[in-house]
Structure 1
Amino acid sequence: MNGKVAIVTGGAQGLGAAEAEILLDHGASVVACDIRDDEGEAFAAAMEAAGHGGRIAYQRLDVTSADDWARVVAFAERRFGPLTSLVNNAGIPGRAGVENTTEEGWQRTIDVDLKGSWLGMKACIPSFRRAGGGAVVNTSSTYGLVASGHGSTAYSAAKGAVVMLTKAAAAEYARENIRVNCIHPGVVDTPRNQTLPPDWLEGLLRKTPLGRMAAPREIASAVLFLLSNEASYVTGTSLVVDGGYTAI
């Protein structure tokens, strides 16, 4: 990833922070974005202290705002040069089921989990062209492939749509040396998943052949591969990193 420039959304903590850190470890310059400003600034400071000075910056980003996206892309280009890499990681759950999901709740989940990925690509692809090409990793979920049975209707709808958004964009931009892939993480040991009801979490782990949550770095390693030149012939695909959850 030496010389590459990446934006990572939801980058203040959890999976996004792990993704930003592994890209930094492999030589990229990274703009970590979030709406959690305190955590984001603290993460950037920690990465500076860890030896990544001059290659990390934090920017506030509401992924549902086209204006925010334009501002962050312009900032990244000023600070580091044209973008080569985008990780659309930001997301929110939607667990109220068909009947109890409000219109506002449905729209919020779709906006963050699906529209945010589209807006990110729309904003970043012109910068990729200026760099001579690039790679996107969109974040779906195991629930973009299988149903949960726990009322994650809006979430599953958004994450399933991310798969087709990824394929459509991959086909559209392949001839411009722009690759687009998505990942399907299983249960990851993040602050959000630590708040799951204990019986729900236990049930998820019982259905996971490896029998444990993933460390964020394990998912981040898959993202690193898809963004790197080692995946130069990989586009339009879904990489499932779920401990076997969807295999049974």
Structure 2
Amino acid sequence: MTAHGQTRRRALVVGGSTGIGRGVADAWAEAGLDVMVLSRSAPTGAGADRLRWVATDLTNAAHVNESLTLAACEPLHSVCYSAVHYGDRRAIFRDCTEAEWRRQIDVNLHGLWLTLSQTMPALRRADAPGVFLGVSSEVVYNAGPGRSGYAASKAAASALLNSVAQEESAEAPGAEALRVVQALPAGMVDTAGIRRRRPEGFDYSTYMRPASFAPLARELAATAGAGLHGAQLVVDGAGAWYPVSEQLPVSQSRTIASGTGS
């Protein structure tokens, strides 16, 4: 409850302990939302004390459902799905294992499906349309070598969100029951997951920061995505955004040989 006796708006970020999800979680907390984070590792550093954390393994469906049931037991204003599994390194298809493929599907796609199925009723129960933000990737538009599982799972996730957005528009034309927005970075982002794949001493000065997503997150918190339902937005390093239909994101694919890559 707030100081005036009003219930705080609640938000959920799946995959919000680090990376883009953390940038969104911090921005929503700064905007006054009560933010719960579901992730394997606990949020740390500045602002972590403003986030409620529930340890969650997205490869364990029963565990995920238990955490999501807890998160969606009351109305939700905003939900972000930012969990991602890139893979241990870039590798051509014949060098990828079934175990890695299954993990990419579990985290990048099935976790999203579970989150949508559990949280959509809670977003609909809010006193105004809730907003669901899916963190997408340029690989959806730029499939390339060494990223087959990542590209396939992220493209499927984007298609899932596009379909849900169209269903929401069909159910309540002009006044969506809830709003679905997708956003992706214009370039590489300095995240813990990326740092695990880079050599010691790598120069990250040209990389985006998770905080680049804060302006969009604040906009969604303030408007619940009004005017952005169904949008697929590219976010740049300065925090500005534009529809992907105006300009496709730059491909981060590169030539890769068997047994190499990062």
The answer, yes or no, to whether TM exceeds 0.5 is yes
How many residue pairs are counted as aligned between the two chains? Answer: 226
| Structure 1 residue 225: Cα displacement | 2.8
5+ residue gaps, structure 1: 206-210
Correspondence for 1:47: 48
Identity %: 29
Correspondence for 2:24: 19
C-alpha contact 1:187 1:242 (8 A) present in aligned 2: no
Correspondence for 1:208: none
Letter of the aligned partner of 1:103 in structure 2?
E
| Structure 1 residue 66: Cα displacement | 4.4
Correspondence for 1:30: 35
C-alpha change, 1:145 and 1:29, in structure 2 (3 Å) is same
The 3-state SS of whatever aligns with 2:13 is strand
Higher helix share: 1
C-alpha contact 2:131 2:225 (8 A) present in aligned 1: no
RMSD of the TM alignment (CA)?
2.8
CA distance in 2, matches of 1:47, 1:130: 28
Correspondence for 2:141: 145
CA distance in 1, matches of 2:216, 2:22: 14
Where do residues 67-78 of structure 1 align in structure 2 (5 Å cutoff)? 67-76=62-71
5+ residue gaps, structure 2: 1-6, 238-246, 252-262
> TM (normalized to structure 2)?
0.75
C-alpha contact 2:183 2:232 (8 A) present in aligned 1: yes
| Structure 1 residue 98: Cα displacement | 1.6
Letter of the aligned partner of 1:222 in structure 2?
L
Alignment pair present for 1:246 and 2:242: no
CA distance in 2, matches of 1:63, 1:225: 28
C-alpha contact 1:163 1:238 (8 A) present in aligned 2: no
| Structure 1 residue 245: Cα displacement | 8.2
**What do residues 65-90 of structure 1 show as CA deviations (whole Å, max 9, x unaligned)?**
44334433443356xx4112111001
Correspondence for 1:222: 216
C-alpha change, 1:165 and 1:189, in structure 2 (3 Å) is same
C-alpha contact 2:21 2:83 (8 A) present in aligned 1: yes
CA distance in 1, matches of 2:52, 2:198: 34
Which is worse superposed, 90-99 or 220-229? 220-229
> TM (normalized to structure 1)?
0.79
Letter of the aligned partner of 1:111 in structure 2?
D
The 3-state SS of whatever aligns with 1:131 is coil
The 3-state SS of whatever aligns with 2:192 is coil
Correspondence for 2:121: 126
| Structure 1 residue 17: Cα displacement | 1.9
| Structure 1 residue 148: Cα displacement | 4.1
